[in-house]
Amino acid sequence: MKNMGEMLLTQAPFSEIVMGNTALVRAMIETGTRVVTSYPGSPTPEVATAIESIPLAERPFYFEFSTNEKVATEVAFGASLNGHLATVFFKSVGLNVAADSFVQLSLLPLIGGLIVVLGDDPGANSSQNEQDNRHYAYMSYTPILEPANPTEAYTYYKEAAELARIMGKAVILRLTTHVCHAKERVVFAGWSPTQPDNTPRFDPANGPYIPLVAAVYPKKRKALNDLQLVEQWVDKRDLHRIHNHGSPLGIIVSGMVYLSVQDVLAPLADKPDILKLAMPYPVPSRIITEFLATHQEVKVLEELDDTLEKEVKTLAFDHRLTTRIIGKAAVEDWIGEYTPDKVHDLLHQTWPERIPARKNYAEDTAKLLPPRPPQMCPGCGHRSAFHAIKQALPADRTITVADIGCHTLGFQEPYRMGEVLLCMGASPGIGSGLSLLNDARKVVAFLGDSTFFHAGIPGIINALFNQHNLTLIIMENGTTAMTGHQDHAASGRNFNEVVEAIPIRQVLEGLGVKHIFEIDTYRQRELGAMVRDAVALDTFSVVIARHPCMLLFTRNLRRKGGTAPHPVSIDQEKCKRIHACIQDFGCPSFLRASDGTVTVNRELCIGDGSCLQTCPSKAITR
């Protein structure tokens, strides 16, 4: 059995069971993609995992994790201007960060072509919202291809690459969480490595690349004309699919929702016809109009917003069609993933005589399961930090501001640290605003080390420049832990090699921060004292609360053949059943029985000992 890297570089045609993210990488290789950039974010990090499996010397393209999504987009854009097929990928809300640059792409000739792989997240499985990035396509005149499964992720990437090259455009490949993570057997074509031409082909004459006012209208006019050409191109590629069952009823769908529809209709003898669209924007008007004209009723099924529904209704109106078009009917239709269960309910509500109601087994099962809130890993340095900081800060005289990262879980019980959150890097700015006209409560903001470089520095500069009274606690664990332990600028290596680290403290000192405290989070008493000292200052101050990510630490330890320390245990004679270990410290390794007895789950405990100092009775022992 070949490892993943060997499989991806196999030159002969083959088939293998892979997830959608892995299939993308094979498509990158087959299409001759030359530059790939990203900022890590679920559901797309496994694309980088697959890339990493290919030894650097054998990798047929350049890859980097950039500082943030905007920079990643700009690096890929620059590579495309030099004639190289380039790709940038990130999660749904990453497009918000990249938007300032992204919205310009369709207005400029990208001679190498550029593919923007979006990992949208219906259901908010790993995101702070359910935003529908199809709106960005409309706003920026950027075509979208939307695969439904790993095979289509592979084939649509290849189609996107050809379209991007031929037309010199950016093309969105919109994946959703279950397309990224689904697995199926994919049949891959062969691949022949060629000697790449690294001659830079950038030529200002291909532009203009400077968006002067005089160039705006011609560029916009071309972008709009290009959309018509894209629609015709996809039509000729025969990517859309019709399942004709001879029914007067029809369903229009795209992406992963198509699979849910197939699941629901599979046992039925009398099935509605299905039009599966490969490209939801620009809307394929010909095939939609023809489908509407041959059906009495058509249900439009789409996750999140009603963008496709509105376009279908517009086409019906323009062509004076009498087809009844059924879209979203209730608020819940705009919310959550369109799983088979949800699609079954929607189709039953639409055609109750044709689609029988389903038995809700999931609801019955849910009643039997206790709630399981997300929590930090055993040994996590953030837990020690929050435990110490909560004791150091009076809750009634402090406002705490959260940021994106593992430490966002500090909002949960028992810590209740972080009472407001927007997006990555927002905490310094939000905290600054909360400090204004505020003489009664101190403001403390939290920020991760990866986020510090991603988007935190401008807010810090603003706090210094405008002299805001704010304490910032940087939760440094040496990695981008939440999305899979990717390196960042302070880690001492990038994706490809060891590099000189950019220490956070030196960056802060270079910006002019005068009050910097720094300590390991396991030293809880001293950390608490430092936080009190920092908050007592009537100026901007920073506490760097540092401890390595223990999940990464223990994994690396096992890879090297080492073993973790022995789990802690509870001295039952000393234990007074105060339950501070559970109610205040909150490590999931501790178990409380119905009689109040506390024991340790030896499968969870990593033996880090951060809990020893938290027990008033000193009952936790080695």
Cα–Cα separations (whole angstroms), residue 375 to 177, 535, 555, 594: 21, 27, 19, 22
CATH number at residue 269: 3.40.50.920
User: Phi then psi for 35, rounded to 5 degrees?
Assistant: -135, 130
Residue 229 lies in a domain: yes
Residue 552 lies in a domain: yes
Amino acid 559: pLDDT: 87
First to last CA, the chain: 43
Q: How far is CA 621 from the centre of its chain?
A: 40
Cα–Cα separations (whole angstroms), residue 87 to 27, 32, 75, 481: 11, 11, 10, 24
Q: Does one domain contain both 232 and 121?
A: yes
Instruction: Give all strands (DSSP E) within 379-483, no chain letters.
Output: 398-401, 442-448, 471-476
Tell me which residue of 125, 56, 15, 41 sits closest to 481, measured CA to CA: 41
In degrees, to the nearest 5, what angle opens at C-alpha 487 toward C-alphas 481 and 492?
130
Of 537, 558, 579, the domain-final residue: 558
Cα–Cα separations (whole angstroms), residue 354 to 265, 325, 360, 361: 10, 17, 18, 21
Residue 353: helix, strand or coil by DSSP? coil
Residue 372 lies in a domain: no
For the chain, the domain total comes to: 4
Q: Does one domain contain both 432 and 335?
A: no
The one-character DSSP state at 224 is H
In degrees, to the nearest 5, what angle opens at C-alpha 225 toward C-alphas 231 and 115?
60
Report d(CA 133, CA 93) in Å as an integer.
9
Do 273 and 251 touch, CB atoms closer than 8 A? yes
Q: Looking up tokens 């004639």, which residue turns up?
A: 83
Q: Looking up tokens 């099924």, which residue turns up?
A: 301
Amino acid 196: pLDDT: 84
Residue 430 lies in a domain: yes
Torsion of CA 157, 116, 454, 495, to 10 degrees: 30
Of 513, 533, 558, the domain-final residue: 558
Do 571 and 621 touch, CB atoms closer than 8 A? yes
Beta bridge partners of residue 579, listed in sequence order? none
Residue 451 lies in a domain: yes
Of 538, 558, 578, the domain-final residue: 558
CATH number at residue 614: 3.30.70.20
Residue 35, CB-side half-sphere exposure with 13 Å CA sphere: 22
Tell me which residue of 118, 236, 221, 116 sits closest to 169, measured CA to CA: 116
Amino acid 195: pLDDT: 85
Residue 374 lies in a domain: no
Amino acid 76: pLDDT: 97
Amino acid 363: pLDDT: 65
Mean pLDDT by 10 residues, the chain (622 residues): 88 96 98 96 94 95 96 97 97 95 95 96 88 95 97 98 96 96 96 88 88 86 95 94 95 97 94 97 96 97 96 97 96 94 95 89 69 87 96 93 94 93 95 95 96 96 97 95 89 92 96 97 97 96 96 88 86 93 93 94 92 94 88
Report d(CA 302, CA 102) in Å as an integer.
24
Q: Does one domain contain both 157 and 264?
A: no
Which DSSP helix (H) or strand (E) runs through 37?
strand 35-38
Q: Does one domain contain both 302 and 208?
A: no
Q: Does one domain contain both 386 and 274?
A: no
Tell me which residue of 316, 267, 318, 262 sits closest to 288, measured CA to CA: 316
Q: Does one domain contain both 585 and 608?
A: yes
Q: Does one domain contain both 433 and 299?
A: no
Residue 369 lies in a domain: no
Structure tokens given for 535: 């908050």
User: Phi then psi for 401, rounded to 5 degrees?
Assistant: -120, 130
Q: Does one domain contain both 216 and 256?
A: no
Give the domain range for residue 278: 241-358
Q: Does one domain contain both 573 and 463?
A: no
Three-state SS string across 527-566, please? HHHHHHHHHHCCCCEEEEEECCCHHHHHHHHHHCCCCCCC
Residue 141 lies in a domain: yes
Q: Does one domain contain both 59 and 200?
A: yes
Cα–Cα separations (whole angstroms), residue 118 to 87, 157, 179, 593: 11, 12, 11, 46
Q: Does one domain contain both 418 and 273?
A: no
Q: Is 124 exposed, middle or buried (0-12, 13-18, 19+ CB in 10 A)?
A: middle
Q: Does one domain contain both 430 and 577?
A: no
CATH number at residue 497: 3.40.50.970
Amino acid 361: pLDDT: 66
Report d(CA 364, CA 367) in Å as an integer.
6
